[in-house]
């Protein structure tokens, strides 16, 4: 696959089966278990910005964000179909979102603590809050139905 053959599309007009397949492929069951399936198209519809990556009309990646277009851009999901990972698609999606929201002051995301994922986000200038010493910040999170420890 040649990265130049990837087409990026803005908007959430995506067949539900393709969406479920993509989220399922990276193991994000919280979105794809049968009782939650109707929530996924709703979550996309209510996102501020959705951009998808297509290879020969196959959905191979997606990024979606919430933003007020002034002070905060929150990246909620970024995912690439496993067979297409490591070929620059995540980078294309990320660059596209960051260019669109370049003017916004805070860029925030929450993700699993995985070395490769960390390196990926650091390459775009994101810093893990735990690594900050000269400009310390705190981040707080609640997860519905989960007792965090």
Binding-site ranges for ligand COA (CB under 6 A): 26, 77-80, 85-91, 111, 116-117, 119-120
Q: What's the min distance (Å) between Cβ of 73 and ligand COA?
A: 14
Q: What's the min distance (Å) between Cβ of 90 and ligand COA?
A: 2
Q: What's the min distance (Å) between Cβ of 28 and ligand COA?
A: 7
Q: Which is nearer to ligand COA, 37 or 120 (CB)?
A: 120
Q: Which is nearer to ligand COA, 54 or 120 (CB)?
A: 120
Tokens at residue 52, please?
Answer: 């998808």
Backbone angles phi, psi at 125, to 5 degrees: 95, 0
Rounded to whole angstroms, the Cα distance separating 67 from 92 reads: 19
Q: Which is nearer to ligand COA, 33 or 70 (CB)?
A: 33
Q: Which residues contact 123 (CB under 8 A, 6 or more apart)?
A: 91
Q: Which residues contact 37 (CB under 8 A, 6 or more apart)?
A: 16, 20, 31
Rounded to whole angstroms, the Cα distance separating 140 from 45 reads: 26
Q: Which is nearer to ligand COA, 52 or 90 (CB)?
A: 90
């Amino acid at each position: 696959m040649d990265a130049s053959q990837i087409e990026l599309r803005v908007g959430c007009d995506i067949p539900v089966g393709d969406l479920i397949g993509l989220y399922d492929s990276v193991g994000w069951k919280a979105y794809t278990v049968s009782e939650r399936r109707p929530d996924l198209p709703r979550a996309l519809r209510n996102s501020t910005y959705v951009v998808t990556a297509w290879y020969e009309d196959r959905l191979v990646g997606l990024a979606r964000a919430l933003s007020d277009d002034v002070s905060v851009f929150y990246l909620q999901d970024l995912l690439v179909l496993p067979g297409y990972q490591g070929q620059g698609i995540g980078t294309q999606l990320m660059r596209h979102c960051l260019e669109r929201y370049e003017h916004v002051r805070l860029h925030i995301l929450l993700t699993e603590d995985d070395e490769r994922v960390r390196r990926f986000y650091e390459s775009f200038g994101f810093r893990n809050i735990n690594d900050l010493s000269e400009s310390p910040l705190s981040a707080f999170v609640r997860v519905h139905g989960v007792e965090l420890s």
